[in-house]
Structure 1
Amino acid sequence: MFLKSLSITHGDGTIIRDILFHPGLNLIVDETPDESGKETGNNVGKTTVLKLVDFCLGAKAKGIYSDQENKRNEYKLVKNFLIENSVCVSLLLKDDLFQERSREVLIERNFLSRKYKIQRINGKDKTDDEFEETLTDLLFPGHYGKKPTFRQIIAHNIRYEDLSINNTLKNLNRYTRDDEYETLYLFLFGCDFEQGDTKQELRAQIDIEEKFRKRLESEQTKSAYEAALNLIQTDIDELERQKASLNLNPNFESDLEKLNKIKYEINLASSEIGRLELRRELISEAQKEIQASKSNIDLQQLQQIYQQATSLVSGLQKTFQDLYDFHNRMVESKIKFIIKDLPEIDSKLAAQREHLNSLLAEETALSSVIIQSDSFNVLEQLIVGLNAKYQKKGDYENTLRQLGSVESKLIELNNDLIAIDNELFSDEFALKIKDQINKFNKHFSSVSNELYDEKYALKVDTKTVKGRRLYEFTAFNLNFSSGKKQGEISCFDIAYTLFADEENIPCMHFLLNDKKELMHGNQLLRIANLVNMKGIQFIASILKDKLPGELNKDEFVILKLSQGDKLFRIEE
């Protein structure tokens, strides 16, 4: 499968970029002039072209507008542009660029969410799960749901992140386990292993169980818990012996229950007495307040005032004495009404006090029966001590049960893994891997010899990590200079494409590479000649001042960018 085109459009259909790819070398060049010795190539979008291809093949949208070194930093200008303008990216893949009627796959995605989200393959909308499933079925038929994943398989075809630029084989994210790399390269080199998925699942479960065991033993080891449990049981036995030797009331349990019930009733009676006394006190206070309002004035003096008033106001039928008597009668009526409950309250108070006295006497009697010398205090202390010991014993036993369960599970999982490994590391399977690696190395050494006059090769060793056997794939003759490492990576990727075609293994026929300015110009020229001859697409971003003059031609350059003409054509 080759890249045919990459289109970037506004939501209204206006084209921002329409990039056409061809067989052989495809260069994305930053033409910004080098001023005052400063480096060029900052934020013009040459790496973003590679990211957009990756985005169409299932990468996260955030990668387009995030800082590669610090994912938390976002380029707000680019992010806002992509979202506010409903920018859509379309990638067209083609089985054979030389055959007009060969199969094509059109992938369309935008950066919006929910109902505004565009995620289509060949014109059909896809959910996130359907998207990867459909891509896998189209490009690697029958492989969906198996290991390695679609994204892992194509990882070596798309190299723009530091890890993939600087590592030939371990080019996935830094959290990838060795067994995942093992499964990946067994698949890539055509060493199909039906239980590869099961092996990864077993190893993942084993990792979970081992982490759980480590957490359980974070404070003490299993043997320490067992020793501590034995000591606790000894302490419990001694406390139980002391408890049994106490000279206690034979009816202790029933008497203690009665005593607790009496104490409860004492509390109830005391509360009721308090409530009745409070009510009685409130009635007495109200009686005093009303009594104080009763009139005791000088009637003779008021009589004179009243006579003066009647001489001025005619028709008064009542004397002042009448008014005075009426007022006092009303006050007395209020007092009688308020204090009418006092006899009943006094009666209840007397009854409750008598009941309380009876309870207190019963409490005293029971207490004297229960407490024989100071055995009760000793028993109480023993019970407190036993409860603490039993609680700790329960904690330790629970931890040991969990550890036992984890160890049983680990034994079961490791036995399953051993059964799989016995097949995977059999002489027959090891010979198959060796044969496939030898086939690949013919291409690897040939390509590296053509590019560097050196012969690179791949080797596979069996190593043991935490008691588990693994196949580890590594390249010979490793080099530490960045230029040589870039060359080794390119040699590997080109050689693998040639090997996969020879073995009829499905693969992508395009290779995306960032920062090719790290490679010497002579090697770039050799790569150009090789991929043009072999019909492999080699898409690379590079600075113009690092580009050999022989490659600065329209037949190689598919896109020119600069500070004045950035990829999305938005200027700060």
Structure 2
Amino acid sequence: MFLLKLYSEPHGLFDEVEFVNGINFVYGKKDSNNPKESINSIGKSTFLDLLDFCLLASYQKSHNPRLFAAKDILSGYDIVLEFRIDDIRYIIKRCVDDIKRVKFGTVGNIEVYDIDVLKKHLGQLIFNQDDYSGKFFPKWYRSLINFYLKIQKFKKDQFNDPIKYMKDVNEVETNIYQLYLLGLNNTLSYKNFDVRSHLNKLKPAIKQIEKLLEEKYDLPSLAETNKNINKLKYEIKKLENAIDSFKLKDEYEDVENEANKLTQTIKDKWFQNFADKKKVDAYEESYTIPESISVTKINNIYTELSQEFASTVKQVLKEAIDFRKKLSQNRKRFLEKEIAELKENIKEREKEIFEIEKKRAKLFRFLSAQEAIKDLTDAFSIVTDKKSQLSELESNTKILNDLQTEKNQVEAELKTIENDTFEYVKSLNKEIENLYELFTDVYNEIYINLKNESGFSIDYNKRKDKLVDISISMPDMYGKGKNIGRTLVYDIFVLLNSYRFTNNFPHFLVHDGIFDGVDKAHFIAVYEYIQKLVNSGKEIQYITTINEEGTLSDKFGNSDKVTPERIEQEAILVLSPKNKLFSTDFKNIE
């Protein structure tokens, strides 16, 4: 993937920029008439935001504050990016007025895509490896393209860890993408992430049920819960036996029998109503499930194969959906009739229960007055309470047992993954050796005075959840400048390494403000190294922002190879306080 142009339609929002092979400077120049005026907030990073926006970055304020603040300025314009892959020229057009709809295609063949569909399409187009043996999903597009776009969205953003390049993504998931970008099999890392994600969902569910049992029933463990269940079963059985053997006085036997019959009738009608209500719920649920087939999305997919074929598929699918809708409507009318009848039956039974309960109440009042029913009614009440408690305990315990069993199975699977990962890393000796050589070559080109003092390794690390530890070491690597240097070396190394196994991946890197904390000698070395790669026939675009002050100064080393004048001359975009990106100020621009 090679960048060609970035501009607006209609023209005039900002100057059209053509990307070149080699170094692409976005240069901040001081005003010669007012040298004390700041060259911050003139639009260097915002220009890079526009590139990121065309590559389908989020437009939320929390993710892209500068472009979000400039919405009024951007409104009415398409931001257009042209790039090529395998000599095919592609165009993306995106507007802040409708961020979910993006125009994309080749020259003369532009179509409108839903952004989520286009992300997958670009993922396949830019990052697919035909012979790759690991895991790849086109939906990873933004997670992969972010590696090539190190744009400081906030002032506090820094170049810290080149491996964990997305701050909101954990290391276990990041490893999947890192191994993919390095051309190494990521199957076990993907399994590790998938299984650990599952385990992370099980643990809080188990804790929640354990907390419920402890707080409501004062049962601190599963063993205590099982003991309580057995105790309840014993007490219920004992009470039911007592009720079965309970006899009223002979003179009240007829009244007792009548009361028992009424009680049984009430229970039967309650059960029938319960069953009918369940049927009603099931019927109502069955015809409220929404249809979710998108004819347009399917048409867009087949359009890539053939417009005529897509139209045929769309028509056939539409006819099938219409037929299904008719069936659904007929079924709905039938179910509504059934539901109405069931509700009417429930209503009638409730009336009957009410009348029967009044009769039974009279009999109970009579028996209560004779002091013959007291023990029986208390027994029924206690049994009901205990059965309710038992039912809830058994239900929660079953869920807890099932979750615990599933957790044990997942943990056992993790053990297998750990062992397989150990064996896999051992098998990578030759690949790691080749990667180490390339990494060291890049490092030596940039850190000329500290040659062969860097380290690159891929190791198995059981103590970390990610299991595979990609490690980069450099002298004084925790100092600000050197830690930035780790990102500088590693990113160029990954870019060059990808040339070995694919031609699809991006051939560009964006480093926003990375040289602010790097020794000027290393800046010159990077410039010369990129030029050396270009002269050797490689296509590589290194895009970076740089200020006339700060990175460049009167103490710019002894070299005259990279002067401010030369940088200004070679820059793809020169901005200044008098020549800002959008020729105007707006809040939060950096």
TM over 0.5: yes
Partner of 1:449: 444
381 and 76 in structure 1: CA distance in 2 versus 1, 3 angstrom threshold: same
Partner of 2:97: 112
**Matching residue's letter, 1:50:** L
- What are the Cα deviations for residues 416-452 of structure 1, in whole angstroms up to 9, with x where unaligned? 55555554432xx323433323222222223223323
Matches within 5 A, 1:93-108: 93-95=83-85, 102-108=87-93
Q: Does 2:393 match 1:396? A: yes
Distance 2:480 2:466 in 1: 32
Asked whether the 8 Å contact 1:147–1:184 carries over to 2, the reply is no
500 and 369 in structure 1: CA distance in 2 versus 1, 3 angstrom threshold: closer
Partner of 1:565: 579
- How far the C-alpha of 1:540 sits from its partner, in A, is 0.9
Partner of 2:528: 529
- 3-state SS of 2:483 partner: helix
Q: Say which of 132, 140, 150 aligns to 2:119.
A: 132
Asked whether the 8 Å contact 1:31–1:561 carries over to 2, the reply is yes
Asked whether the 8 Å contact 1:456–1:476 carries over to 2, the reply is yes
Partner of 2:281: none
Q: Does 2:174 match 1:172? A: no
95 and 213 in structure 1: CA distance in 2 versus 1, 3 angstrom threshold: same
Q: Say which of 84, 87, 93 aligns to 2:77.
A: 87
Q: Say which of 132, 150, 162 aligns to 1:159.
A: 150
- 3-state SS of 1:534 partner: helix
**Matching residue's letter, 2:529:** L
- How far the C-alpha of 1:539 sits from its partner, in A, is 1.0
Distance 1:21 1:255 in 2: 96
- How far the C-alpha of 1:207 sits from its partner, in A, is 2.5
- Size of the alignment, in residue pairs? 453
**Matching residue's letter, 2:584:** I
- How far the C-alpha of 1:514 sits from its partner, in A, is 1.2
Distance 1:130 1:394 in 2: 48
Q: Say which of 496, 500, 505 aligns to 1:498.
A: 496
Asked whether the 8 Å contact 1:44–1:566 carries over to 2, the reply is yes
Distance 1:379 1:451 in 2: 92
431 and 232 in structure 1: CA distance in 2 versus 1, 3 angstrom threshold: closer
- How far the C-alpha of 1:90 sits from its partner, in A, is 1.5
- How far the C-alpha of 1:163 sits from its partner, in A, is 5.8
Q: Does 2:440 match 1:437? A: no
- How far the C-alpha of 1:528 sits from its partner, in A, is 0.6
- How far the C-alpha of 1:494 sits from its partner, in A, is 1.3
547 and 142 in structure 1: CA distance in 2 versus 1, 3 angstrom threshold: closer
456 and 49 in structure 1: CA distance in 2 versus 1, 3 angstrom threshold: farther
Asked whether the 8 Å contact 2:28–2:546 carries over to 1, the reply is yes
- The TM-score, its normalising length taken from structure 2, stands at 0.67
Distance 2:122 2:445 in 1: 35
Distance 2:40 2:13 in 1: 24
- 3-state SS of 1:475 partner: strand
CA RMSD of aligned residues (A): 3.7
- 3-state SS of 1:138 partner: helix
Matches within 5 A, 1:403-422: 403-419=400-416, 421-422=418-419
465 and 410 in structure 1: CA distance in 2 versus 1, 3 angstrom threshold: farther
- 3-state SS of 1:546 partner: coil
- How far the C-alpha of 1:125 sits from its partner, in A, is 2.4
104 and 433 in structure 1: CA distance in 2 versus 1, 3 angstrom threshold: farther
Partner of 2:259: 256
Distance 2:32 2:209 in 1: 60
- What are the Cα deviations for residues 41-87 of structure 1, in whole angstroms up to 9, with x where unaligned? 4432211122222222221133xxx366xx7x67775111212xx22
Matches within 5 A, 1:119-268: 119-122=103-106, 123-141=110-128, 146=137, 149-161=140-152, 165-174=159-168, 176-194=169-187, 197-220=190-213, 224-231=221-228, 233-235=230-232, 237-238=234-235, 241=238, 244-245=241-242, 247-249=246-248, 254-256=257-259
440 and 145 in structure 1: CA distance in 2 versus 1, 3 angstrom threshold: closer
- What are the Cα deviations for residues 146-185 of structure 1, in whole angstroms up to 9, with x where unaligned? 28822222322110146672221101132x2332122222
Asked whether the 8 Å contact 2:8–2:80 carries over to 1, the reply is yes
- 3-state SS of 1:547 partner: coil
Partner of 2:517: 518
- What are the Cα deviations for residues 468-526 of structure 1, in whole angstroms up to 9, with x where unaligned? 67212121246222222111111111122222223447532211011232223222111
Asked whether the 8 Å contact 1:26–1:540 carries over to 2, the reply is yes
Asked whether the 8 Å contact 1:26–1:538 carries over to 2, the reply is yes
- 3-state SS of 1:93 partner: strand
Distance 1:188 1:561 in 2: 34
- 3-state SS of 2:15 partner: strand
- How far the C-alpha of 1:565 sits from its partner, in A, is 2.4
- How far the C-alpha of 1:384 sits from its partner, in A, is 3.0
248 and 438 in structure 1: CA distance in 2 versus 1, 3 angstrom threshold: same
Stretch deviating more after TM superposition (235-244 or 377-386): 235-244
6 and 473 in structure 1: CA distance in 2 versus 1, 3 angstrom threshold: same
- 3-state SS of 1:94 partner: strand
Distance 2:30 2:473 in 1: 38
**Matching residue's letter, 2:199:** I
Partner of 1:545: 549
- 3-state SS of 2:491 partner: helix
- 3-state SS of 1:218 partner: helix
Distance 1:252 1:194 in 2: 75
Asked whether the 8 Å contact 2:150–2:510 carries over to 1, the reply is yes
- Give the fraction of aligned pairs with identical amino acids, expressed as a percent: 19
- 3-state SS of 1:540 partner: strand
Stretch deviating more after TM superposition (17-26 or 73-82): 73-82
- 3-state SS of 2:390 partner: helix
**Matching residue's letter, 1:230:** K
Asked whether the 8 Å contact 1:94–1:103 carries over to 2, the reply is yes
Give structure 1 stretches of 5+ with no counterpart.
97-101, 262-359
Give structure 2 stretches of 5+ with no counterpart.
265-357, 535-539, 554-561
473 and 214 in structure 1: CA distance in 2 versus 1, 3 angstrom threshold: farther
Partner of 1:291: none
Distance 2:255 2:198 in 1: 55
Q: Does 2:555 match 1:556? A: no
Stretch deviating more after TM superposition (140-149 or 204-213): 140-149
Q: Does 2:483 match 1:473? A: no
Asked whether the 8 Å contact 1:255–1:370 carries over to 2, the reply is no
Asked whether the 8 Å contact 1:91–1:107 carries over to 2, the reply is yes
**Matching residue's letter, 1:168:** P
- 3-state SS of 1:91 partner: strand
Distance 2:21 2:189 in 1: 35
432 and 9 in structure 1: CA distance in 2 versus 1, 3 angstrom threshold: farther
- How far the C-alpha of 1:392 sits from its partner, in A, is 2.2
